[in-house]
Amino acid sequence: MSALPRLVVVLGPTASGKSMLGIRLAESLAGEILVCDSTQVYRHFDIGTAKVPPAEQRGIAHHLVDLCEPAEVFTAGDYRHRALEALDDLRARKIPPILTAGTGLYLRALLEGLADAPQRSEEIRARLRQRVEQRGPEHLHRVLEDHRTAVRNIRRDGNDLIKKAAKDKKISEDEEKRSLEEIQKLTDEEIKKMEEMAKKKEVEVMQV
């Protein structure tokens, strides 16, 4: 779909009454409910998730509930995909969608989309679990903290060098400003490459 249809969104925490308000709105507008909740997508999770029982739905269709089994992985990206399909269907039938939202991440994923980031890797997760089993969780914490320290050091050292050059009049104020901005824009991956080239600090990086 090229654009989201006009949505009525009822936003609030679990058990705040948004489900009943959504049903009343759906009755008034002849609409249907789209549930936006990270726990209600799972089957068998009826206690503690505030799912509306069929007997209390007043004949209003509820979408995006009971989509997967508890052992299945279901992400914000999965929710966006399924929600867009449901919205396409409602728009084709000219039925107003009423969105009852309790999970902000899912709502943001639907309204704004998601970053173009790599998909989760079960291979990487398995490798990290193996490391934890072999060396304990403290090992991964130590590796992460070492990397964070190296990143802070490179940004700090770079800032110091640029400010010293400006103080010594070796670069102009505009050049100083641009250089400092460029350092702050450096990604962690770029900084890791700088670490290797300059051999400033040995950092153990997980080969994932």
Residue 21 tokens read as 């308000």
Mode of pairing for the β-strands spanning 8-11 and 62-63:
unpaired
Q: Does residue 37 belong to any structural domain of this protein?
A: yes
Question: Residue 133 domain-assigned?
Answer: yes
- Residue 176 in any domain: the answer is yes
Flag whether 174 is in a domain: yes
- Which residue from 194, 193, 196, 189 is spatially nearest to 157, judged by alpha carbons? 194
Neighbouring-strand partners of residue 11: 101
User: CA 49 to CA 103: how far, in whole Å?
Assistant: 12
Integer CA distances (angstroms), 51 to 22, 31, 38, 104, 191, in order: 13, 19, 11, 17, 47
Helical segments of 136-202, H only: 137-167, 173-185, 188-198
pLDDT tens, position by position, 16-65: 889 999 999 999 999 999 999 999 999 998 888 889 999 999 999 999 99
Q: How far apart are CA 58 and CA 162, in angstroms?
A: 67
Q: Which helix (H) or strand (E) holds 112?
A: helix 104-112
**Tens of pLDDT, residues 84-134:** 999 999 999 999 999 999 899 999 999 999 877 677 777 877 887 887 888
Max Cα-Cα span within the chain: 77
Query: What tens digit of pLDDT does each residue of 140-180 get?
Result: 777 667 666 655 655 565 555 555 555 656 556 666 566 55
Q: 24 with 50, same domain?
A: yes
Whether 60 maps to a domain, the answer reads yes
Residues paired with 68 in a beta bridge: 42
Is the per-residue pLDDT at 201 higher than 60? no
| Domain assignment present for 205 | no
Q: Of 88, 112, 136, at which residue does a domain stop? A: 112
How many structural domains does the chain have? 2
